[in-house]
Each structure stands twice: as C-alpha cells, then as structure tokens.
C-alpha cells in the first residue's frame, strides 16, 4: 500500500467538498469552497510518473457556479461531469475541442483542456448537496437542502420527477446498480428507498440513525455493486458511530460498520467485487452474514465487496464484507472531516478529500484487497441474482402508443431549444456531410478566419495582447431608430464546434445534450448577416420611441409617465370620490413635442411612416384696441409623411396625448377635450369633453379608441359606429390595492393603459400588476401579479416565440420589478405554488386571448401535472378538452349546445389534446393508464366525426380582429407539432402518412441510439479493465 498527499491539489486553501475519478481513469475532478470545479490529470498522481510537468497537472478550472461546489460526479461514460452547488443549480460540463481559456481578470494561466458547461439544471430551491448518475447515465438524481430529490432526464435536461417525502434536508442519494431503486438519506434520520418504475416510495427505513447526534455536511450513502447492500452514514450505536447496512428486499438494518469516533459522512463501495486468490491465506474467521450469494462455491472463492468509509473523526477505514474488522485504517491524514471518497476504475486506488482543503490517494495492491472480479464476472453474478438487467432499467411500457408519444414529447421539448439555433438539426444528424457542405462556405471566409485564429492565439497569450497594436476590429455600428447604438461584433477564431471529443476514440452522437448543440460554425458566422438583417428590419419597422405594442399600423403617445389615482375620503371630495393626479412627467414635458408614427402596412413596406406631431406654439396676439397683448397657448398639429406635410391644424390648449391608426387620429388636450380627426385631417366630430385631461390613450387597428382621464374614468369607443363600448373607472383597482400598500392607502400609480391584443383595456400599475377589463364579465381581472414568488415556473415566460407574447411581457415586468425589491428569502415550494401559478397563468392567457401563450402554458401545466402524477387534475383537463361523451357530442354538433365549445381561442380542442396534452403526459409513465384511456376516447371521437368536419363558423369565441391572424400563426408555428401527429386519423391523409413514417424512423433512431449507448458502456468498461 502506498499513500500520498499531493499538496498541489487545492482550491485556494478552502474546503474540498467532493472528489470523483473519471471512469476511464484519465482525470479526476474536485469541487470546493472557492465555487470552482477543477479537473486534474490522473497521470500526475500515478505512482510511476511523479515527474510530470507541473503545468499538466491541473487540466481545467470551471467557474460556472456561484456557490460552493458540494458534489462532482462523472457520468459512467466519462464524457460529462456534473456538479451541484450552493447556488441551487447543477451544471453539466463537457470537454470541447480547442485549447482552454482562462477567465478574464482571474490572473490564472489558461486551462490545458477546454471544458465548458453545456447544460444547467435548474429547479432546486436550495443548495444541491449530493448528485449521482443512473447506471445507464440516462438520468441524474440530486438531493438538496430543499428536502427533495430531483430526477433529471439527461437527454433533455428536464426534471422529470420530484421526490418529496423527506421531512428534512436530503444529504445523500445513491442508485441501485440494477436500476430498480434509488435510496436517499436525510437529516430527518430516515433512509427512503424509491422505485424507479413509478417513483413511488418503496420503503421508509428508520434505524440506527435515530440516536445520531450532531450535524454533518453530507450523508453520502452507497449501494454495493452487487446490488444487495446499501451502506448508510451517520448511524450511532452506543458507544460508537456506525455505518448501518440495509439489505435489499427487507430494507432493514442488517448490521453496522462500527468503530468511528465521530459521525460517518461518506461511504463508497468499490466499483467491483473482489475474491481471494487460491494462493492467498484463507480467511479463517467468517462473519455471521454473507453476501447472500449461493454458497455452493468454495468459501474462499466467494466474491466480496470492498468499502471505504470516511468520517468526521478525520479517519478513513476500508472494509471488506468478508471480514468483521477493517482491512485498513487511515489516521492522521487530514486535519478535518473526510467528506468524499472515490475509487479508481481499476479498484486499487482510493481518493479522499477533506474539509481541510486537501486530498489523499491510497494505492492498494492485490494481496491486500484480493483479486478484482472482471466486469463480465460481475455481470454474471448480477444476472444470476436478479435476472437480465437489461429491460428492467425502466418501467415497462404498456402500449405502443406510449412509446410514440414519448418520442413526440422529447421532440417537443427539444424543438423548443432548437428553434433558437440555426441549422442545428442537420448538424446533429450528419456531422460528416455537414463538414463538406461548410467547407465550401468556409473558403470565402478563409481570410477572415486566419485573422481570427491569430486573434485567439493572441488572446491566449496575455503578454502580447496588452502591448500589441490590435488590428482594426471589423465591426458594424449603427443607430437604431430609438437612438440607441448597436454594434454587430466581429467574429473571431473558431466558434464552438458541434463535434465533440470522443471519450474512447469513438465518436458518435451519444446522449446529445440539447443545450450543448449550439449550432455549427456556420451559425457562428454566416447567420450573423441574415439574422441581423432580420432584426434590423424589424427594428426599423417596429422600434419607435412612442409606439410599443402595435408597431405596424397604430401608434399612440402620452406625455405622462404615470398616473396616480387617489381615493379621497368622500367628505372632502367635491364632485366625486376619485381624484386623479399625475405624478411625474408633466412639468418636464411642457415644452416637449409629441410625435407618433403610423405605418400603413397595406401600402407596402416602402412607404414612409405617417407622422403626427404636436408642437406647442405661443402666439403674442395683438388685439386691436386692447391694452395689453395676451399670450395665447396653442398647439400645432401637423401630419407628415417623410417631410411633406399632409395636413395641419391648431388646437387651443396643450396637447397631452396623441393616438392614431390608418383610420383616424385622436388628440387629447389638457383641458379635457378630445378631438378626433379623419385620416385626412378633417375634424370628424365636435370636440368631445371628458371632464379632465386625457392621460392615456390607445387605439386598435380599426376603429376602437381607448382613453383614460385624469380622474380615472376609462372609455372605449367604437368611432365607426359612434358608440361607447365601455365606460368604467379605475376605482376598483384602487380598493383592491389598498391592503397591499398600507403606507399610501388608496393610491395607485398607473404606468400604462392600452388595448390588449384581444381588444380589451389592459392597465399596468407601478407595482407591475396588470389588470384586464373583461367586457362580458364587466369587471377587472388581474392577469399578472407577484403572488407566486417561489413558483418554479416563475420567470419562465419566454420572449422567444416570434411575436413576444403579451402575458410574457407583463410577467417579465413583474419579475424585474420584484427583483429590485430588497429582501430575499429562500422560500421552499412544495409544488402547490407552482401549480397555482401555472393555473392562474393559464386562465390569464385565456383572458388575454393569447393563443400561443395559452398553448405554451397549457403544455407546461400538463407536464407539471404529469410529473406530479396528479391524476385527478389531469383527468379534468383532458375531459374539458375532450368534450361531452360521443353521443352527446353528435347532438351538440347539430344544434346549438352551449355547454361545450370545441374551440379554444380559435384552436380546436381535440387538436390541442392530441398534439400537445397527450404527448406531454407521456413524459411520466405513471399516468400512462390515464393516457391510454384518453387516447382511446379521442380516437373514438375522431372516428365518429366525419373527417371533413371543417371548423364551423371558424372563430366562434372571438369577437374582435387580431386573433384570426394569430390563428394562422398557430397552425404554422411550431414545426414539430404538426410533424408528429401520432396514431389517429388526421383530416389530411397525406400528412398523416408522412407523419407515421417520420415517427417510425424516429423510433429506429432511438433504438440505434440506445444500442450505441450500450456498446459505449461496454467499451468504456473494457477500456477501464
């Protein structure tokens, strides 16, 4: 036995919380209190190669965490290393081609190897303490101080399951090598065994942990490679601390490893089993227990496990399950608690790390531990005991439909990310072809790239960079219409490549991490042009200082930034309860010109926008015969198109708001008058008197005009029919808000009022709470608020799907606003809040009539329910989308049955059910019975409905414009959805044919993938041995 302590393995002198050896034995990783993960060269600790160049020792430093790194674990295939941290996230790192970089400003030399974070797993609401990969690397389990265990799907990076049964901090997780269970240990002094088939609780074990005292950093329990034992940590049996061992099946404490003087923090089984050679001295003493294997073989040849135990008493002990006494005790290695252990792949070296910031390696030889069983022997042993392991890894699928839907659901989640990357898919499927393709394109950019290569060389070489006269940077700068400067940077060097470094000299697309697929080098270079053209186009069209929401054909402008509505006690109010005051903006803006632009989309893109401008003018009016000259305040209104004045007018008083669209213009004045002009500037109506100054104004695409006055009255008119659609007041918002802000009771600040895309008034307060007026309910609905701070779903609204969703915008505002507030506390979500949040989001998006957001939210909600296996809710959702039983449905189609509408926001409910809800449900097999039930029901419906049952009365629920266009968009929007119609008979026959073919190939790919994976596993194991 040789022991060593490499002093150069350190994390700036801070604690090292975790250590793990790469399964191919080339590297080992450490995680420490300095928030970093470090990857070290195994050669540098090899007993033979002590004189390795010190620069080659540390291969990489990963600085992606914002908290102490508590756990690092390599995947079994060795390509990824996962790290869990106090910052609540898990990062997955992978080696990328190219040379390593350093962090700017760190002053450290560049890394030897280029390791980069490729995936971030977010979901825990407290420190992640322990993580472990599943035996087949398809999943990752993580234990956290939020009392949960999360199970992550490592293909998609999505959390598939949250295990909640522990009553206190979860500090250790371990996988059954057979794949049937996982075990977790918690500060609640229990160990829970979970079934991986449906994630139910198999057994909660109370045992020798009950009497344990004191707290420990970790409770890293371990599962023996034979699958028979779980050795747990932090037990106590008077007078010693112990590591209680549970036996498979009974899950009861079988025996304890006794002897440590302080709590046991970590146990680690050797990856293999060992046996005595015939030559070695036969073990005379036998313990009363054995491995549970058949005792037919000679006792000496019976394989046993080797286990290392690390404790707070600073010692490490190594035991075999063939002897009741430790084989080896390592004292005085560390100054503080041992917190993590790892065995080398050959099984003869043990790595340990400690809170004192050091690591130690202990190398054994076969005479000490015995002879290692080969992988085949171990497999054979497991096979004899548990049957063929393959096939029982996961829970069984009960119907082929489940499989189909699962592929659909993975595609769905994948496509979400793919959308942002250009040409990603081709890259994944055919890397080699792609190289050829790109080669041509590259030629044109050769010069550029050479320059770039130089540049990266330089950046790596710090000394030369700082002094070098840099070659001119080829960047493009322009001003956006809103006056902001935008730079398109110059691309330098080699962008991140898709081709990943093969671990064992074998390159294939095993387990592609979706977020790790950032597109090929083309997406780094060429799309710069195209996407830029896109966005600049959009900006020219869309971004103008004063128009925000509806850039194309309408515009509005208001002077006031905000509006305060105060609820004054009834006695003091003279004419009403409401008194509206403008708080900001009015004084500064007295001289400001108002300007709006309206783009008439119909006339083509080339036409310049029509601008309406209001400039205050002061005239000294000489009245003949008057004693003095009086100043008359007037505002000149002028309408221009590219410099040429179309019409102009003068209004008395100061203009506060402007609005316009291709049909009309509206000008509101300080004195409470409102003037409406026709397109050509005729005064369409006599001046309308509002009683107080207009503060917010908005118009839709056609004839609707919204106005909010200073006193908080809100009007919506249909100017075409000269009708008032709505007259209400913001008063109800005041009362609803009083309780929240007790300091200034009865006051609200309004920051914006506008018409939502669905044509209803939408008010946003300074608190960023948003309210929508429902014209059928005739009351205000709160559609965005901050009631769910700890929801996992918070801030999850994307701005991605082409036109940024309306609700999303509101949500983001709320989040941003909340973020500024001081006071941040860790709130643990028990799932209730997330659910409530999703439900309210769903209802809000329905109220806003935002179909794409509705769909998105529905998906998330169903996925959440599926994950939680909330069958009753899922059933209700499905039923609401399915409609009344078939017989009734037929009756309903014939006459007007109001009870069930087959459309929601213009989308057929059945289509949503078939394309979105059911695939989303497929993510958890626990609900597959329910899924099958609805699959059957749905297909029944679609059989009864004639195939050409064209949408009757196309948009039944919608009364105003705007939505039909988004309807089209829905249909053409996400490519994956339409391409993955499973099973059932679709309306368009060809499509469904093509689809089924696509699906089949999809499955084939899947299978080859898994074969690859097995091969790969096999290989890595062989390599290891």
User: Does the protein bind other proteins through residue 120 (CB under 8 A)?
Assistant: yes
Look at the block and give the residue holding tokens 């490490």. Answer: 316
User: Does the protein bind other proteins through residue 955 (CB under 8 A)?
Assistant: no
Rounded least distance, CB 518 to other proteins, Å: 4
Considering beta carbons, is residue 281 or 802 the nearer one to other proteins? 802
Applying the rule CB under 8 A, the residues between 332 and 371 that interact with other proteins are: none
User: Does the protein bind other proteins through residue 855 (CB under 8 A)?
Assistant: no
Look at the block and give the residue holding tokens 């962008």. Answer: 495
326: nearest Cα among 243, 250, 383? 243
Determine contact, residues 161/927, Cβ cutoff 8 Å.
no
User: Does the protein bind other proteins through residue 220 (CB under 8 A)?
Assistant: no
Rounded least distance, CB 67 to other proteins, Å: 7
Rounded least distance, CB 569 to other proteins, Å: 18
User: Does the protein bind other proteins through residue 742 (CB under 8 A)?
Assistant: no
Determine contact, residues 292/246, Cβ cutoff 8 Å.
no
Considering beta carbons, is residue 35 or 679 the nearer one to other proteins? 35
User: Does the protein bind other proteins through residue 79 (CB under 8 A)?
Assistant: no
User: Does the protein bind other proteins through residue 452 (CB under 8 A)?
Assistant: yes
Beta bridge partners of 215: none
37: nearest Cα among 78, 75, 69, 74? 69
User: Does the protein bind other proteins through residue 101 (CB under 8 A)?
Assistant: yes
Cis geometry, peptide bond prior to residue 239 (ω within 30 degrees of 0): yes
User: Does the protein bind other proteins through residue 819 (CB under 8 A)?
Assistant: yes
Q: 816 exposed, middle or buried (CB, 10 Å; 0-12, 13-18, 19+)? A: exposed
Among positions 89, 141, 361, 651, the unique one binding other proteins when judged by CB under 8 A: 89
User: Does the protein bind other proteins through residue 822 (CB under 8 A)?
Assistant: yes
Considering beta carbons, is residue 119 or 977 the nearer one to other proteins? 119
Rounded least distance, CB 600 to other proteins, Å: 28
Piece in contact with other proteins (CB under 8 A), picked from 166-174, 370-378, 591-599, 741-749: 741-749
Can you tell me the distance from the alpha carbon of 479 to that of 484, in angstroms, rounded to the nearest whole number?
6
Binding mask 750-779 for other proteins (x = CB under 8 A): -x--------------xx------------
Rounded least distance, CB 762 to other proteins, Å: 18
Among positions 6, 25, 67, 681, the unique one binding other proteins when judged by CB under 8 A: 67
481: nearest Cα among 540, 553, 552, 531? 540
Rounded least distance, CB 977 to other proteins, Å: 16
Considering beta carbons, is residue 632 or 740 the nearer one to other proteins? 740
Rounded least distance, CB 156 to other proteins, Å: 10
User: Does the protein bind other proteins through residue 519 (CB under 8 A)?
Assistant: yes
Among positions 481, 493, 809, 1002, the unique one binding other proteins when judged by CB under 8 A: 493
Q: Measured on CA atoms in the order 652, 654, 659, 660, is the torsion positive or negative? A: positive
User: Does the protein bind other proteins through residue 129 (CB under 8 A)?
Assistant: no
Determine contact, residues 662/680, Cβ cutoff 8 Å.
no
User: Does the protein bind other proteins through residue 447 (CB under 8 A)?
Assistant: no
Rounded least distance, CB 119 to other proteins, Å: 8
Give the Å distances, CA to CA, from 172 to 92, 622, 647, 801.
Answer: 19, 89, 76, 39
Considering beta carbons, is residue 562 or 713 the nearer one to other proteins? 562
67: nearest Cα among 82, 84, 83, 87? 87
User: Does the protein bind other proteins through residue 88 (CB under 8 A)?
Assistant: yes
Determine contact, residues 266/220, Cβ cutoff 8 Å.
yes
- E-strand ranges in 721-787 read 723-729, 747-755, 761-765, 770-774, 779-784
Say if strands 235-237 and 229-231 run parallel, antiparallel, or are unpaired: unpaired
Beta bridge partners of 266: 220, 310
Binding mask 700-719 for other proteins (x = CB under 8 A): --------------------
Among positions 287, 403, 491, 586, the unique one binding other proteins when judged by CB under 8 A: 491
Give the Å distances, CA to CA, from 182 to 159, 175, 395, 828.
Answer: 16, 4, 14, 23
Among positions 722, 816, 929, 989, the unique one binding other proteins when judged by CB under 8 A: 816
The 8-class DSSP code of residue 452 comes to H
User: Does the protein bind other proteins through residue 128 (CB under 8 A)?
Assistant: no
Among positions 136, 356, 421, 849, the unique one binding other proteins when judged by CB under 8 A: 421
Tally Cβ neighbours within 10 Å of residue 895: 6
Long-range contacts of 103-111 (CB under 8 A, 24+ apart): 103/61, 103/63, 106/63, 108/61, 109/55, 110/460, 111/58, 111/59, 111/60, 111/61
Rounded least distance, CB 240 to other proteins, Å: 38
Torsion of CA 547, 551, 555, 557, to 10 degrees: 0
User: Does the protein bind other proteins through residue 13 (CB under 8 A)?
Assistant: no
Piece in contact with other proteins (CB under 8 A), picked from 274-282, 323-331, 449-457, 906-914: 449-457
Look at the block and give the residue holding tokens 């083509």. Answer: 604
Applying the rule CB under 8 A, the residues between 234 and 253 that interact with other proteins are: none
Piece in contact with other proteins (CB under 8 A), picked from 358-366, 560-568, 600-608, 982-990: 560-568
Contacts with other proteins by CB under 8 A: the residue count is: 102
Considering beta carbons, is residue 177 or 851 the nearer one to other proteins? 851
Phi (first) and psi of residue 108, to 5 degrees: -95, 155
| Residue 722 Rama label (left phi>0; alpha psi -120 to 50; beta) | left
Piece in contact with other proteins (CB under 8 A), picked from 307-315, 594-602, 619-627, 810-818: 810-818
Tokens of 240: 């010693």
Long-range contacts of 571-577 (CB under 8 A, 24+ apart): 576/711, 577/731
Q: 3-state DSSP call for residue 839? A: helix
User: Does the protein bind other proteins through residue 812 (CB under 8 A)?
Assistant: yes
Binding mask 861-880 for other proteins (x = CB under 8 A): --x-----------------
Piece in contact with other proteins (CB under 8 A), picked from 112-120, 319-327, 364-372, 769-777: 112-120
Phi (first) and psi of residue 439, to 5 degrees: -55, -40
Applying the rule CB under 8 A, the residues between 893 and 932 that interact with other proteins are: none
Applying the rule CB under 8 A, the residues between 24 and 63 that interact with other proteins are: 35, 63
Binding mask 381-420 for other proteins (x = CB under 8 A): --------------------------------x--x---x
Rounded least distance, CB 532 to other proteins, Å: 6
60: nearest Cα among 26, 13, 105, 14? 26
How many residues make up the chain in this entry?
Answer: 1025
Distance from the Cα of residue 686 to its chain's centroid: 54
User: Does the protein bind other proteins through residue 481 (CB under 8 A)?
Assistant: no
Tokens of 647: 């019409």
Among positions 535, 638, 897, 992, the unique one binding other proteins when judged by CB under 8 A: 535
Look at the block and give the residue holding tokens 């073919």. Answer: 997
Residues 984, 988, 991, CA angle at the centre, nearest 5°?
Answer: 80
Tokens of 212: 């344990």
Strands in 148-153's sheet, in edge-to-edge order, are: 128-133, 139-144, 148-153, 158-164
User: Does the protein bind other proteins through residue 434 (CB under 8 A)?
Assistant: no
Say if strands 58-62 and 69-74 run parallel, antiparallel, or are unpaired: unpaired
User: Does the protein bind other proteins through residue 523 (CB under 8 A)?
Assistant: yes
User: Does the protein bind other proteins through residue 470 (CB under 8 A)?
Assistant: yes
Among positions 385, 815, 873, 908, the unique one binding other proteins when judged by CB under 8 A: 815
Considering beta carbons, is residue 602 or 821 the nearer one to other proteins? 821
Binding mask 131-160 for other proteins (x = CB under 8 A): --------------------------xxx-
Rounded least distance, CB 830 to other proteins, Å: 15
């Amino acid at each position: 036995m040789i022991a060593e302590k490499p002093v150069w393995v350190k994390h700036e002198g801070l604690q090292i919380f975790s250590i793990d050896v790469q399964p191919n034995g080339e590297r080992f990783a450490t995680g420490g209190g300095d928030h970093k993960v470090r990857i070290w060269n195994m050669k540098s600790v090899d007993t033979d190669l002590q004189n390795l160049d010190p620069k080659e020792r540390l291969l990489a430093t990963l600085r992606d965490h914002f908290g102490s790194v508590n756990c690092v674990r390599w995947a079994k295939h060795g390509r990824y290393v996962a790290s869990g941290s106090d910052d609540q996230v898990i990062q997955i790192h992978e080696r990328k081609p190219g040379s390593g970089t350093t962090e700017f400003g760190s002053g450290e030399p560049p890394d030897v190897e280029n390791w980069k974070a490729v995936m971030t797993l977010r979901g825990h609401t407290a420190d992640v303490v322990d993580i472990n990969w599943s035996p087949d690397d398809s999943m990752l389990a993580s234990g956290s101080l939020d009392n949960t265990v999360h199970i992550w799907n490592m293909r998609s990076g999505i959390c598939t399951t949250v295990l909640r049964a522990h009553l206190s901090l979860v500090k250790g997780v371990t996988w059954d090598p057979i794949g049937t269970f996982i075990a977790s240990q918690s500060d609640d002094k229990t160990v829970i065994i979970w079934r991986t088939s449906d994630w139910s609780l198999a057994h909660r074990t109370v045992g020798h942990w009950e009497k344990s005292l004191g707290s420990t950093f970790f409770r890293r329990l371990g599962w023996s490679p034979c699958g028979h034992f779980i050795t747990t940590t932090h037990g106590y049996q008077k007078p010693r601390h112990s590591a209680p061992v549970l036996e498979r099946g009974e899950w009861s404490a079988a025996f304890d490893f006794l002897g440590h003087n302080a709590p046991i923090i970590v146990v680690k089984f050797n990856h293999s089993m060992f046996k005595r050679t015939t030559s070695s001295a036969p073990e005379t003493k036998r313990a009363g227990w054995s491995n549970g294997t058949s005792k037919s073989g000679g006792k000496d040849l019976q394989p046993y496990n080797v286990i290392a135990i690390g404790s707070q008493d600073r010692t490490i002990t190594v035991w075999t399950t063939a002897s009741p006494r430790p084989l080896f005790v390592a004292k005085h290695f560390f100054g503080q608690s041992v917190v993590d252990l790892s065995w080398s792949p050959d099984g003869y070296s043990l790595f340990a790390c400690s809170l004192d910031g050091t690591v130690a390696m202990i190398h054994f030889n076969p005479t000490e531990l015995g002879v290692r069983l080969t992988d085949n022997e171990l497999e054979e042993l497991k096979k004899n005991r548990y049957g063929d392991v393959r096939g029982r890894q996961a829970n069984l699928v009960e119907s082929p439909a489940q499989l189909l839907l699962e592929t659909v659901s993975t595609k769905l989640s994948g496509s979400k990310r793919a959308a942002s990357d250009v040409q990603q898919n081709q890259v994944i499927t055919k890397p080699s072809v792609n190289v050829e393709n790109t080669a041509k394109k590259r030629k044109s950019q050769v010069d550029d790239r050479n320059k770039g290569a130089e540049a990266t060389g330089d950046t790596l070489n710090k000394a030369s960079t700082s002094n070098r006269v840099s070659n001119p940077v080829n960047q493009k700068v322009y001003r956006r219409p809103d006056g902001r400067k935008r730079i398109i940077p110059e691309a330098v060097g080699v962008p991140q490549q898709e081709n990943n470094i093969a671990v064992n000299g074998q390159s294939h697309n095993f387990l592609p991490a979706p977020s790790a697929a950032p597109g090929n080098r083309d997406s780094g270079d060429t799309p710069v042009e195209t996407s830029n053209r896109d966005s600049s186009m959009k900006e020219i069209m869309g971004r103008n200082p004063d128009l925000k929401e509806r850039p194309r054909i309408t515009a509005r402008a208001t002077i006031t930034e905000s509006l305060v509505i105060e609820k004054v006690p009834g006695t003091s109010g003279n004419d009403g309860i409401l008194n509206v005051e403008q708080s900001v903006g009015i004084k500064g803006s007295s001289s400001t010109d108002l300007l709006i632009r309206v783009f008439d989309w119909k006339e083509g893109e080339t036409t310049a926008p029509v601008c309406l401008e209001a400039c205050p003018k002061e005239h000294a009016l000489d009245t003949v015969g008057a004693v003095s000259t009086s100043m008359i305040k007037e505002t000149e209104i002028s309408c221009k198109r590219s410099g040429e004045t179309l019409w102009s007018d003068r209004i008395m008083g100061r203009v506060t708001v402007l609005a316009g669209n291709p049909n009309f213009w509206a000008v509101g004045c300080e004195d409470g008058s409102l003037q409406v002009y026709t397109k050509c500037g005729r005064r369409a109506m006599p001046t309308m008197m509002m009683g107080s100054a207009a503060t917010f104004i908005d118009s839709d695409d056609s004839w609707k005009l919204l106005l909010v006055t200073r006193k908080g009255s809100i009007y919506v008119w249909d100017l075409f029919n000269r009708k008032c659609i709505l007259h209400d007041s913001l008063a109800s918002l005041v009362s609803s808000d009083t309780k929240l802000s007790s300091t200034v009771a009865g006051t609200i600040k309004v920051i914006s009022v506008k018409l939502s895309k669905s044509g209803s008034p939408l008010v946003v307060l300074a608190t960023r709470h948003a309210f929508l007026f429902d014209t059928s309910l005739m009351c205000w609905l709160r559609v965005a608020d901050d009631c769910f701070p700890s929801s996992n779903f918070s801030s999850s609204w994307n701005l991605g799907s082409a036109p940024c969703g309306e609700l999303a915008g509101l949500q983001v505002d709320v989040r941003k606003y909340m973020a500024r507030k001081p006071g941040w506390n860790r709130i643990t979500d028990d799932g209730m809040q997330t659910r409530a949040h999703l439900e309210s989001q769903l209802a809000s998006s329905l109220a806003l009539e935002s179909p794409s957001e509705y769909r998105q939210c529905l998906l998330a909600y169903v996925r959440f329910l599926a994950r939680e296996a909330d069958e009753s809710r899922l059933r209700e959702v499905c039923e609401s989308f399915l409609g009344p039983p078939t017989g009734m449905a037929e009756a309903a189609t014939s006459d007007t049955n109001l009870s069930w509408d087959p459309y929601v926001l213009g989308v057929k409910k059945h289509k949503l059910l078939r394309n979105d809800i059911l695939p989303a449900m497929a993510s958890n097999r626990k609900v597959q019975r329910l899924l099958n039930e609805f699959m059957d029901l749905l297909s029944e419906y679609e059989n009864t409905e004639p195939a050409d049952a064209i949408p009757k009365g196309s948009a039944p629920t919608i009364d105003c414009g705007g939505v039909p266009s988004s309807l089209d968009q829905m249909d053409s929007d996400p490519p994956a959805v339409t391409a993955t119609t499973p099973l059932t008979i679709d309306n368009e026959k060809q499509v469904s044919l093509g689809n089924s073919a696509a699906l089949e190939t999809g499955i084939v790919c899947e299978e080859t993938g898994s074969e690859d994976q097995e091969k790969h596993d096999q290989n890595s194991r062989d390599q290891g041995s």
